[in-house]
Amino acid sequence: MVVIAVIAIIFVLIYLDDKLGQLAFRNGRKKVVYPERRSDIALYVNGRHLFADYFAELHRARDHIHILFYIIKSDETTTPFFQILKEKAAEGVKVRVLVDWVGSLGLPKALIRSLRASGVEFAYTRPPCFPFLIYRLNRRNHRKITVIDGRIGYIGGYNIGREYNGKDANFGEWRDYHLKISGEGVYDLQEQFLHDWEEATSKTVADKHRYFPELPAGAIRHQLVATDGSALEEQYIHAIRHAKKEIMIGTPYFIPSRPLFNELMRALKRGVRVTVLVPLKADHLFVREAAYPYFYRMLKAGARVYRFYQGFYHAKTIVIDEEWCDVGTANFDRRSLFLNGEINCYVFDRAFTRLVKQAIERDLTRSEPLTLDFWRNRSLLDRGKESISQLISAWL
């Protein structure tokens, strides 16, 4: 009885910490909608290709390198990455590296010391602290931004580590979507990075004008939107509400809010073709099962749901009517909607949107359809996991 009472008290304290934290941070949540821009944008869907280009651009840096990732690992993929950063810092290039405290918790302290000794400025974003420790632990900076010399930027779903390069046997090929931006949009990536850096370090960056060179307009109209635990839900609802023919969603985690899910169901009722692509494998406990109740209702309403089996599917993308697409860092789940700091790129270009749609369609050929029969015949263990996942879905 004593053990049960202690467990009950712990759960109550966690619940109160979370709810009080939500109230305390409610007024501080915000979104930043950057102006519509024109840039040249390249899409990467393969880690080897992305990192080959990414490392080459890092080598060419002359003034500064600004890097923000949720996860940076210490392994054979990141060894050359860290070496480039040290060499660039030794050449006099200003190098700043910002990582999420939870996502990159495993980075060796000796590695961080060596980076700092070489001249690289390194910081953690959102370390846990009191009050509201549990709530703060959940509010992660999930953005992935790189800016090189203020002229080239990267944003998307890839972190840096061996699994993202397809070298982890547990995952196989890592499927993700990442953008390389050159043109006006880099200005906004820079603005967001500097905001996150100053928030994490509590230091003002001096001589900011050096980081904002004059940039040419590119060919593709787009807009960057940064969110921090709010506003993303309403943006997705607005986009889905205006869909006329087709909605395609690629995400590793499908745990929508009730209003967002209801909007998808309304789209199905008015005849919009809805396709959802998720991974067959799961990289976190309960996330796969948390999606099944939503999938059951969607399948009954006529949606198509596919599970990518050739590796792990980690892309975060939405395509609507071949007219609008979103590629960014936000998953289609409650954590990205209501907790994480995210940044997405909305593209208003039919040719580029078709390119993203074609990437999804290629991935569909390496996926299996989820059927109502499969759902009805799932095991008792899976049904039990679903019940648990529904209770903790807001934290998955």
Q: Where are the alpha helices (DSSP H) in the chain?
A: 2-25, 47-59, 78-90, 109-117, 133-138, 185-201, 232-241, 258-269, 287-300, 334-338, 350-364, 372-376, 380-391
Site of tokens 């007219």 = 323
Residue 125 structure tokens = 């974003």
User: Residue 145 contacts by C-beta under 8 Å, 6 or more apart in sequence?
Assistant: 66, 67, 68, 153, 154, 155, 189, 192, 193, 196, 343
Residue type, 194: L
Q: Quick one: CA dihedral 6, 10, 11, 13, positive or negative?
A: positive
Residues designated as active site: 142, 144, 149, 314, 316, 321
Among the listed residues 338, 132, 137, 150, the one whose alpha carbon sits nearest the alpha carbon of residue 255: 338
Could you give the CA distance from residue 100 to residue 281 in angstroms, rounded to a whole number? 24
Determine the straight-line distance between the first and last CA of the chain, rounded to whole angstroms: 30
Could you give the CA distance from residue 67 to residue 69 in angstroms, rounded to a whole number? 7
Residue 238 structure tokens = 């607005």
3-state SS, residue 331: coil
